[in-house]
Amino acid sequence: MAYKAVVCNVMIASPSDVKEEREIARKVIWHWNYLHSDRTKIVLIPVGWETHSAPAMGDRPQAIINKQVLDGCDLLVGIFWTRLGTPTGEEASGTVEEINRHVQRGKPAMLYFSLAPVRQDSVDSEEYERLKEFREDCKTKGLIDTYETQDQFKDKLTSHLVRTVHQDGYFRKIGEQATNSPILEAANDSDPETDLSKEARELLLEAVKDPHGSVIRVMTSSGLTVQANNRNMVTNPHDGRCEALWQGALEELLEENLLADRGYKGEVFQVTREGYALADRLKAFGSGL
């Protein structure tokens, strides 16, 4: 059944030492959609600089990330453990700049600080002091939260995300827009903005799971291999129909600029910025899953 919805981007902002928590946050956001998007008429898309930015010149790296990624976000989830991050020339770190810029624009932000134990010799003491100063400063400007385990972080973010989207005035206005405006239509049983085949969607969704977003195509004496995330999509080598399906799926993604050829023999491909964005929409609307 179709329903009107507003798509909201959620910026996951953090230094490099909380990689697992970033992935947990993405999963929590997708799970929120499955449970609440139909009723709230809001769909949340997790975004970050590593998946939603593209190479560009002419400004500071963080300023480019701000324009390409951050400024289009409606909610920010900030996560810290032992690092604050690298100074940008404008702020104490890229993550701090993202948080301050986001909050200054009147948008909601949720900040989490890990209390998980860490080996003393693995922590830069000066960096950690900078982080503690930032945490104390945040306490004077709003409410923050802490967690001791990744499971606790998952539980807290799950609960807080529901509360924020349901109660925050910013999201209430967005929900009203979805109810009153005809411009955005989402369908549970159709794919947004794409005529891709089932195989092409499946290949794209598998490729974005790979840390490098890679797809490999190789023809050997054993038959065709189209591999993504260590999975060979061609389940019946030497079966002409099966090989044609996945060869065609790969060509579809290339034609739509969702994959880019990164090898000189047409064997290695990588998900593009457009590919990641479309995969996010497919996941949000439950398409191809």
The 10s digit of each residue's pLDDT in 33-72 is 988 888 888 899 999 988 888 889 999 999 999 999 999 9
Query: Options 1.10.357, 1.10.150, 1.10.10, 1.10.3470; which CATH number does 198-284 get?
Result: 1.10.10
Amino acid residing at 154: K
- Predicted confidence (pLDDT) per residue in 211-249, tens digit: 989 999 988 877 889 999 999 999 887 788 888 889 989
> How far is Cα 289 from Cα 282, in angstroms, rounded to an integer?
8
- For 2-187, CATH number out of 2.60.40, 2.20.25, 3.30.160, 3.40.50 equals 3.40.50
Distances (CA, A) of 171 to 11, 41, 43, 107: 15, 10, 11, 9
Q: Are 206 and 258 in contact (CB under 8 A)?
A: no
Provide the greatest CA pair distance for the chain: 66
Closest CA to 25 of 195, 161, 180: 161
Residue 82 has pLDDT above 50, yes or no: yes
Hey, which bits of 115-213 come out as E strands?
145-147, 185-187
Q: For the chain, give every domain's residue range.
A: 2-187, 198-284
Residue whose token pair is 């010149």: 57
Cα three-residue angle 121-123-126, rounded to 5 degrees: 120
Distance CA 15, CA 95 (A): 7
* 84: nearest Cα among 13, 157, 160: 13
Instruction: Report how far apart, in Å, the C-alpha atoms of 208 and of each of 18, 188, 230 are.
Output: 20, 21, 12
Could you tell me the pTM of the whole model?
Answer: 0.65
131-145, pLDDT tens digit by residue? 999 999 999 999 999
**Residue 55, C-beta contacts closer than 8 angstroms, at least 6 positions apart:** none
Q: How many helices (H) and strands (E) does the chain have?
A: 10, 12
